[in-house]
């Protein structure tokens, strides 16, 4: 029996996933900067940790716009709502985002106390600093795990032109943020599609949406890879 999902949720799912991934990559990039500075012995400003927690909060809440919340984790029971029931890979990603959000909140409050409150004794400072060290490490580990969860999550959206358009438009950025895992993701995307066909689908989607400049950018990039593809050339003519 097909679950009942509202038309609004169905219509918004692709765009919401695209927005979640965009923010998730921003969070990965920002946390890499935070970890790098912290490991170099430099203080991480409260504002950076605040920004990280706010990005993760947006990811978490956007996920619950389209997926049911887990009402009883012990029984694996979900709330009654006109939303999608997450599958295993989606649930893993939701848990990862939730844990990172809550731990980033703890880290930012610890940093706030270190920055804005004078401690009465060196012992108080050392305890706060030790706790912050622990949470920065926990966040780094969660982000490392999260990067490995993106590829299985994406397998649910390989036929979604809206989600795939993000990766074609931001390939260089995604690869730089994800490192080796980025190469795996693009390899999976290429395996799921004839790549020239994917470029054509995304370009057609942009043209139909009235985003001609975005279509041109994708098509010119595609021509560098497939210089003899007549369909790509025909789509460029449409853009003109």
Mean pLDDT per 10-residue section of the chain, whose length is 240 residues = 85 96 97 94 92 98 96 86 95 97 96 79 82 96 96 94 94 93 90 84 93 92 88 88
Q: What is the predicted pLDDT for the residue at 36?
A: 94
What class is the 1-157 domain? mainly alpha
Rounded CA-CA distance 170/174 in Å is: 6
Nearest Cα to 133, choosing from 27, 35, 28? 35
Nearest Cα to 224, choosing from 190, 187, 191, 199? 199
Q: What is the predicted pLDDT for the residue at 30?
A: 97
Is the domain defined by 158-240 classed in CATH 3.40.50?
no
Q: Where in the chain is the domain with CATH 1.25.40?
A: 158-240
* Whole-angstrom Cα Rg for the chain: 21
Q: What is the predicted pLDDT for the residue at 13?
A: 97
**Could you tell me the two tokens for 2?**
């097909």
Q: What is the predicted pLDDT for the residue at 238?
A: 87
CB atoms within 10 A of CB 218: 25
Q: Where in the chain is the domain with CATH 1.20.120?
A: 1-157
State the SS3 of the chain: CCCCCCHHHHHHHHHHHHHHHHHHHHHHHHHHHHHHHHHCCCCCCHHHHHHHHHHHHHHHHHHHHHECCEEECCCCEECCCCCECCCHHHHHHHHHHHHHHHHHHHHHHHHHHHHHCCCCCHHHHHHHHHHHHHHHHHHHHHHHHHHHHHHHHHHHHCCCHHHHHHHHHCHHHHHHHHCHHHHHHHHHHHHHCCHHHHHHHHHHHHHHCCCHHHHHHHHHHHHHHCCCCHHHHHHHHHHC
pTM of the predicted protein model:
0.90
Q: What is the predicted pLDDT for the residue at 76?
A: 82
């Amino acid at each position: 029996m097909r679950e009942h999902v509202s038309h609004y949720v169905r219509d918004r799912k692709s765009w919401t996933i695209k927005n979640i991934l965009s923010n998730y990559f921003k969070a990965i990039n920002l946390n890499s900067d935070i970890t790098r500075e912290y490991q170099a012995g430099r203080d991480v400003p409260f504002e950076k940790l605040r920004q990280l927690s706010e990005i993760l909060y947006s990811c978490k809440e956007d996920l619950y716009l389209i997926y049911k919340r887990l009402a009883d984790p012990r029984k694996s029971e979900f709330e009654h709502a006109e939303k999608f029931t997450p599958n295993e890979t989606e649930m893993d990603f939701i848990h990862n985002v939730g844990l990172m959000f809550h731990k980033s909140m703890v880290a930012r409050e610890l940093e706030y106390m270190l920055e804005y409150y004078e401690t009465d004794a060196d012992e108080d400072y050392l305890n706060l600093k030790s706790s912050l060290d622990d949470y920065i490490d926990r966040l780094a580990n969660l982000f490392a795990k999260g990067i490995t969860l993106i590829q299985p999550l994406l397998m649910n959206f390989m036929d979604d032109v809206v989600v795939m358009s993000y990766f074609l438009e931001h390939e260089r950025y995604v690869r730089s943020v994800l490192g080796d895992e980025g190469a795996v993701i693009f390899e999976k995307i290429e395996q799921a599609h004839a790549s020239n066909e994917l470029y054509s689908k995304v370009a057609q989607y942009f043209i139909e949406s009235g985003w001609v400049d975005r279509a041109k950018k994708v098509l010119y990039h595609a021509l560098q890879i497939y210089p003899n593809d007549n369909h790509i050339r025909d789509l460029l003519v449409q853009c003109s």
